[in-house]
């Protein structure tokens, strides 16, 4: 029988979207990382439109992007753990997260998935998580938020 306890890792990349799943996944990652004194790296990617040059400093000038990192750091501190944060800009969020995990030798990528439905009622997973699941060089832990009670 499979062991369903919390996953073990020594270095995890925590994908920060700037959405409502960031705080819960940072708190969860901090709690799990504490057990093995693992390293946590929070990565927020600002997606650069194809009409702009890739080296345009969009991320560095974004107060919203910095706020995402600040909230993640504060959440980890609240959970009594340290989170290194990284701000990237790229054409594709999923590819940037996978590349960062590869470069850092991460053995886990942790992603939050908000519960959302498209028009018509189908569950919507987006394109970033499928890309990460398909291309990650390590384990991937996707934490979907609970379904809102009015939709249950």
Profile the chain (152 residues) by mean pLDDT over runs of 10 residues. 68 96 96 94 89 64 87 96 94 96 97 77 82 97 82 52
pLDDT at 59: 55
> Do 110 and 30 touch, CB atoms closer than 8 A?
no
Cα–chain center distance at 42? 7
d(CA 136, CA 142) in angstroms, rounded, equals: 12
- Architecture field, domain 11-151: 3-Layer(aba) Sandwich (3.40)
Give me the pLDDT at residue 62, please. 75
Question: What is the Cα–Cα distance from 137 to 151, expressed in whole angstroms?
Answer: 35
Q: Is 89 exposed, middle or buried (0-12, 13-18, 19+ CB in 10 A)?
A: buried
pLDDT for residue 1: 45
Q: Where are the chain's structural domains?
A: 11-151
Please state, in angstroms and as integers, the Cα–Cα distance from residue 42 to each residue in 1, 7, 23, following that order.
32, 18, 11
In 3D space, the residue among 57, 37, 40 whose CA is nearest the CA of residue 48 turns out to be: 57
* pLDDT, position 106: 98
């Amino acid at each position: 029988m499979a062991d369903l306890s919390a996953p073990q890792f020594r270095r995890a990349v925590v994908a920060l979207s700037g959405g409502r799943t960031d705080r819960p996944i940072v708190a969860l990652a901090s709690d799990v990382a504490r057990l093995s004194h693992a390293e946590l790296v929070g990565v927020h990617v600002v997606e650069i439109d194809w009409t702009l040059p890739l080296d345009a400093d969009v991320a560095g000038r974004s107060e919203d992007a910095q706020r995402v990192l600040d909230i993640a750091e504060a959440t980890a501190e609240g959970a009594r753990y340290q989170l290194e944060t990284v701000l990237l800009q790229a054409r594709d969020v999923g590819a940037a997260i996978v590349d960062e995990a590869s470069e850092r030798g991460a053995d886990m990528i942790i992603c939050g998935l908000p519960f959302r439905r498209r028009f018509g009622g189908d569950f919507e997973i987006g394109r970033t998580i499928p890309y990460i699941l398909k291309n990650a060089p390590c384990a991937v832990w996707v934490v979907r938020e609970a379904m809102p009670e009015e939709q249950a």
